Amino acid sequence: MGAWLTEDQCCTVRSLNVEGIRLHAANTFKHADRAAWLKCSWTRSDVNLGHSSFVTLTPSPMTKIQLNKALAFATLLFLLATGAVLASNEDLQPSSAPDESEARALLNSGQFEEALTILRPMTKAHPGHTNIHFLMALAAIETSRLMQASNEEREALLDEAIAALHAILINHPGLVRVRLELARAFFYKEEDTLARQHFEYVLAGNPPAPVVGNVQRFLNEIRARKRWSVYVGSTLKPSTNLGRNSETEIINIFGLPFRRDTVEEEKSGVGLSIWTGGGYWYPLGERTRLRFGSDLAREEYPGKEYDQSFVGAHVGPQWLLGANTSVSLLLDSRQLWRITSPYYFDFGVRSEIKHRLSRSIWLDGQASWHDREYRKLDYLDGSTLNLTVKGAWVVLPTVRLEGALGYADDHTKSKVWRNDTRWGRLGASVILPRGYTVGGSTEFRRTRYEGNWFPFTSGEPRKDRTKIYRATVFNRAFTLYGFSPQFAITHEEKNTNSQVYGYDSTSGEIRFVRQF
């Protein structure tokens, strides 16, 4: 028969401490060669913004990993192939309407108001004739630029043109000429973010050299006149596991199974997230500006235990280095609240660089260092370093690829919680007929901790691997004040050698995306 556990062994497992996590074992023991059950209760300090809880993780079989990779690769190929088909050889076709030739002649002679007078009733008489709607939009854009047009008339004409061009692109997203005029309409309305987005898609359509030159001038003007920006958004966030908790009851210490007295249940529910912010660029010279900006966000969930608020602010110079590069150096501060209490405060520096490699490829780089101070969890105080490189490639007028690589280092006071993370993400989006836009991305993260994570490991440092899969869809044909509802679903899996820190979570989002 096997030996009984000694009193020394009892003391060893009776009170085990890892900073932020404490295990208490009861005095009930059974024979060591059988299942030795120790009733355990767990207490922990919240050290994770997402309320990560405890789970015993079973490694995924290789076949599942291979299947996930194959599905992600097949989806990417499908999106690219679909976009290529949509973008090929789509063009405007003249209609047989008798007045179209007259309207076209008026446009060619610069008589835009007269052409618009003819084309407006034609769009109602021929709702399915794409070319008539395009000519009407073109006439409205040019009429808005006439000297005698008031600001109100100008705005109304541009809105009329934008609505007509948007309607065409719902079913014909590969029409580069239509997208070019839509970009111009946004530019004249000073909706520069949307104008730049559509100009970038135009360049991916390999337009003639004179058109490329004109588009580049528009883009340069957008950058030169940029003075301020504002954003606002909200989303509903249903989730199957709000706190990323697990109902796993058993862990193993010294080869013995422990049962947790209290297991946090996986809680499902719907959260509400709202955010806003903006920035101002004050000109200090021809190629130098002073940037100011702030960001605010709030998330609320049922029961209030996962509520959080965020406020950030930055200030610093920006330099325009040539036509394709800008560099910023910013002082940056951030404050996070959990429920209604301050959680941590960051203060540091952030540098940003934006560079256009070609007319359809962009790179963004960011490096930041912050000193972080927690209100209660002193052992987590320390510094954070983040390095990120992002790239975007508009492959076709209907296909966009995005990728990112990153590195993060948290140098906490406690060696146990010191860690570094390496991550990468690849995604694609495709503009489809009937107004649909679909997208998907895959992200992989690897985190390594420095300290001894016993009893959650056998004594080695903790290592996490996280996979995040995301899919989105929205319909451009359905808009409310220029916004379309976007539906997103995200699945996240964390594999770890630490018995209690893995989780599996699926969540959704319903947000509104600006269309026009």
* pLDDT computed for residue 270 by the predictor: 86
Query: Could you read off the pLDDT of 32-68 as tens digits, one per residue?
Result: 333 333 233 333 333 333 333 333 333 334 444 444 5
Alpha-carbon span 317 to 64, nearest angstrom: 49
Which residue, 177, 182, 190, is CA-closest to 222? Answer: 190
- Specify whether the CB–CB gap between 235 and 220 falls below 8 A: no
Place of tokens 């008026």: 106
Task: Render pLDDT for 257-268 as a digit per residue (tens, 0 to 9).
Answer: 666 555 455 567
pLDDT digits (tens, 9 = 90+) for 75-134: 555 555 555 444 444 556 555 556 788 888 999 999 999 999 999 999 888 888 899 999
pLDDT band at 396 (very low <50, low <70, confident <90, very high): very high
Output phi, psi for 42, to 5 deg: -115, 135
* pLDDT above 80 (res 277): yes
Average pLDDT, stretch 457-474? 92
Q: How far apart are CA 452 and CA 70, in angstroms?
A: 36
Q: Is the pLDDT of residue 164 over 70?
A: yes
User: How many Cβ atoms sit within 10 Å of the Cβ of residue 190?
Assistant: 10
Residue % of the chain over a pLDDT of 70: 75
pLDDT for 246 beyond 60: no
Taking a C-beta distance cutoff of 8 angstroms, is the pair 151, 137 a contact? no
The pLDDT of residue 3 is 33
Token couple for 157? 């004409």
Q: What is the pLDDT of residues 488-514, one digit of tens each?
A: 999 999 998 887 788 888 888 888 776
More confident call, 221 vs 14:
221
The fold of 92-225 is 1.25.40
What residue spans in the chain does CATH classification 2.40.160.40 cover?
A: 64-80+227-514
Q: Output the pLDDT for position 167.
A: 92
Angle at 355 between CA 201 and CA 196, to 5 degrees: 30
Above pLDDT 90, what percent of the chain? 53
pLDDT of residue 25: 40
- What CATH number is given for 64-80+227-514 in this structure? 2.40.160.40
In the chain, ranges of CATH 1.25.40.10 domains? 92-225
pLDDT of residue 409: 97
What distance in Å separates the CA atoms of residue 21 and residue 44, rounded to the nearest whole number? 4
Rounded to whole angstroms, the Cα distance separating 268 from 244 reads 10
Bridge partner residues of 402 (DSSP): 392, 427
Neighbours of 181 (CB within 10 A): 22
Element (H, E) at 77: helix 62-87
Can you tell me whether residue 144 is helix, strand or coil? helix
Averaged pLDDT, 410-414:
95
Judge whether residue 410 has pLDDT over 50: yes
Q: Which of 16-25, 405-414, 453-462 tops mean pLDDT?
A: 405-414
